[in-house]
A and B are shown apart, each in its own frame.
Chain A
Amino acid sequence: MSLKLVIRRLLFLILVIWSASTITFFIPRLSPRNAIRERFAELARSGGFSPGDLEKIIASYSQQFGLDKPLLQQYWDFLGSVLRLDFGYSLNKYPSTMLDLIMQSIPWTLTLLIVTTILSFLIGNLLGAIAAWPRAPRWARMVATPFVLLMGVPPVLMGVLLLFFLGFRLQWFPLGGAYSIGVVPNWSWGFAFDVLRHQVLPALALILGSVGGWVLSMRGMGVTIQGEDYVNFAEHKGLGGITIFRDYYLRNALLPQVTGFALALGTVVTSAIVVEGTFGLPGIGTTLNNAIRANDFPVIYGIVLFITIAVATLMVLMEFIYPLLDPRIRQN
């Protein structure tokens, strides 16, 4: 890949991040809602301080958050803080910053995301390749079909159904949370097992919802690869079926799927966030859920911006990785 292309993609990435930041900056400011006023009016209703104090508190908070400065100055400061990955403070849990909240919850989200994405990518592509492989036994080709049917089901709904059947009816798995109530987190096998048991249903919901997409695109890809000359040639050389399947067919069909992987990233991340909220796992999704319930606006916008930047960056990075995987592209 030429240097010029790399620079162009990096400029593109900067443009994407800049537009996302600009949107998340201006939309809330266009709205008539005053986050700080709402938050403290709510507190004032539950008692504690007089309306006169309320105004003072709002004024001092507005100053803290820099809301009394002119709009352009705020925008400029905001862009600077985005560059420093500093998304400001939470209203609800004031002393902690956005970055603290994100850092507390991101290990949960990342683990769930990485494990489920890799598993569904592997399972989906293998099943899809088999489904398109004419010499595979009939039963093996049929395995993929139910996953394709499940494709239209959003992972959250899959989660609700799994909770009902496996959690509520059969009681095989817990109904939510990261670990059993009353257990103190510690480094022991028992605790690790408990955590794992709580992760099974959300992971299953995400995997079942996304395998079908891989199956479909891989099956389409597989059908075109079968007609390629090198596959015919390998057959005429007398290579075994498994060798052809693995080395000539699967490897070549898999490459374009990596691009699909980058494109699916946004959807994958958003479904994981929503599923986490449903299962009450302490990841980014639940943090976002709580922020929405508590009207904690800085946290909502901070999380949105953080994830947007992460997804866009990953997408561009994947484009850089792709030529390393496919020598045919490197030459062009």
Chain B
Amino acid sequence: MTIAQPAVPVDLAQPGPVSLILRYLRRNKSLAIGLAILFVLIAFTLIGMLLVDPKGAYPLAAATKKPPSLKYPFGTDFFGRNLLVAMVVGMWQTALIGLIAGGLGTLIGVVLGFVSAYFGGWIDTIIKGVCQILTPIPVLLIQVVVAGSLDKRDVTILTMALIVVMLAWMGPTLVVRSQVLTMKERQFVSVAKLSGVSDLGIIFKEILPNLLPFIAAAFVGQVFAAVFASFYLAVLGLGPLREPLLGNIIWSAQGQGAFFNGWWWWPIAPSIAMILILGSLALINMGLDELANPRVRRTE
């Protein structure tokens, strides 16, 4: 079979990287929308952190129970937090938890997954076994036990992140492990091995670069999971109670019967903020999956 020559001479000029990325985003809609929402949220938080006084996010900073107005766009709550400021600080803290826990979880997962798959043997058996045994246990509930055992003063943004990461490294470990296992058998690895490249050289120069899309997807997935888990803990009243973490605000609104008393704006602002955060992360995750796994790319 002969390959048909294009009738019109094709412009062979390479498009720049920015336009390539834009072109890709036009095809991968969920990635584009997710990134757009995330960008707006980051802008809101960063600009907010520059403009507002974080003190407004803590109790007794404003008049209590004021509905949304020009002075307080999101209203104020029963304890006198300015909810606009609380949103800014709360999102900042949520981002901190997500990045710390997501980063640590991914790092542990990548290291363990690599070690497990590349060296095999009893190390692999142990790591895989521990992952498999811990997987059916509902992670949130164990996190409830950990958070509940802590002294209330010890529950901070950092400890929240550590609690979340403690039981959330199994997912990335298994993903990286299975990817390394298949990649190990590819020809470019055998070639490298035959040409005398060391173990570390193969890991860092041959396998790791090929794994980057999977690691990126695992990272976003971990950030999502960490934000989700810390949110659930806070909604159950196990968060750092003084901090204006979004889940905490919903928890205290529910505890004070916000809807029964007609203070509807109190739980609404943090709920919408959380929906936007989780929604954008979920969309980005879906988009990255499509990038990393050509098999699930849509056939349209």
Contacts and interface: CB of A to CB of B under 8 A. Distances in A.
Contacts of A289: 236-237
B148 A308 contact: no
Interface string B256-300: 000110001001100100110011011100000000000010010
Interface in B98-143: 132-134, 136-142
B259 A164 contact: yes
A220 B296 contact: yes
A24 B231 contact: no
A-side interface size class: 35 or more
A28 B146 CA distance: 7
Interface stretch (A71-79, A113-121, A155-163): A155-163
B19 interface: no
Of A28, A32, A163, most buried by chain B (CB within 10 Å of CB) is A163
A161 B279 CA distance: 15
B138 A266 contact: yes
B162 interface: no
A58 interface: no
A283 interface: no
A33 B283 contact: no
Interface stretch (A40-48, A233-241, A242-250, A297-305): A297-305
A157 B145 CA distance: 23
Nearest to B286: A216
Interface stretch (A12-20, A59-67, A93-101): A12-20
Interface stretch (A136-144, A269-277, A321-329): A269-277
A297 B235 CA distance: 18
A90 to B, nearest CB: 15
B145 A23 contact: yes
A282 interface: no
User: Main SS of chain A's interface residues?
Assistant: helix
Contacts of A160: 250, 267-268, 271
A297 to B, nearest CB: 7
Given A24-B145, A300-B145, A223 B299 contact: yes
A8 B139 CA distance: 24
A45 B142 CA distance: 31
B150 interface: yes
A308 B282 contact: no
A307 B282 CA distance: 27
B174 to A, nearest CB: 13
A292 B259 contact: no
Interface string B17-60: 00000000000000000000000000000000000000000000
B74 interface: no
B259 A16 contact: no
Contact of A292 (B134, B237, B268): B237
Contacts of B296: 220
Interface string B207-244: 00000000000000000000010011001111000000
Contact of B148 (A16, A169, A300): A300
A266 B167 CA distance: 14
Contact of A156 (B136, B138, B250): B250
B151 interface: yes
Nearest to B282: A152
B144 interface: yes
B149 interface: yes
Nearest to A301: B145
Nearest to A20: B137
Contacts of A33: 149-151
Nearest to B268: A164
Contacts of B190: none
Contact of B149 (A16, A30, A156, A315): A30
A221 to B, nearest CB: 12
Contacts of A266: 136-139
Interface in A276-321: 277-278, 288-289, 292-293, 297, 300-301, 304, 307-308, 311-312, 315-316
Interface of A: 12, 15-16, 19-20, 23-24, 27-28, 30-33, 149, 151-154, 156-157, 160-161, 163-164, 167-169, 175-176, 220, 223, 266-267, 269-270, 274, 277-278, 288-289, 292-293, 297, 300-301, 304, 307-308, 311-312, 315-316
Interface of B: 132-134, 136-142, 144-146, 148-151, 228, 231-232, 235-238, 250, 254-255, 259-260, 264, 267-268, 271, 274-275, 278-279, 281-283, 296, 299
For the complex of A and B, the 7 pairs showing the least CB-CB separation, nearest first, are A152-B282, A31-B149, A266-B138, A152-B279, A304-B141, A160-B271, A312-B136
30 contacts: A12-B133, A16-B133, A16-B136, A16-B137, A19-B134, A24-B142, A27-B149, A31-B151, A32-B151, A33-B150, A153-B275, A160-B268, A160-B271, A161-B271, A163-B259, A164-B264, A168-B259, A175-B259, A175-B260, A266-B138, A270-B138, A270-B232, A278-B250, A278-B254, A292-B236, A311-B136, A311-B137, A311-B138, A312-B137, A315-B136
